[in-house]
Amino acid sequence: MFTIPAIRKAHSTEGASSVALAKVWTNVYNAGKALNPPVALAVASSFAYLAWSSPSRSGTSNNNSRLYTLAAALTMGIVPFTLMFMAPTNNKIFRKAAQAATAPAFDSEFGALIERWSTLNFVRSLLPLLGGVVGMAAILA
């Protein structure tokens, strides 16, 4: 939320090294990678339990159960989304972080990579948000 705007500003207006900023991004990414999937798994597991425990009505499938299942899938959607759509951008930034410190300070490719990552990350963040909305709809149904 705060990191990417700070990286953008440091890169575009303050002349910070692309390599150094890629290293900062890598550290932030690794921290998020350690925290976010387990949280998503815990939330998705809660939705999955609710789907399993929702009583069926008259022997037919319960709509709440379907909604909770959808909420669980949307929440866990961050993992395949990251692997399928974000990995190429992530890998390019990782390679940038591994470059020697003698690389040019300003690198337009790095700026483009951070912009792309930011857009993809925004889209990815909508998945658990939608999962929460669907879960709330199931609660209120």
CA of 85: how far to CAs of 2, 90, 138, in Å? 22, 10, 29
What does pTM read for this prediction?
A: 0.86
d(CA 82, CA 125) in angstroms, rounded, equals: 11
How does pLDDT run across 88-121, given as a tens digit for each residue?
999 999 999 988 766 667 778 999 999 999 999 9
How does pLDDT run across 45-83, given as a tens digit for each residue?
999 999 999 876 555 557 889 999 999 999 999 999 999
Residue 126's nearest CA partner among 83, 85, 78, 68 is 78
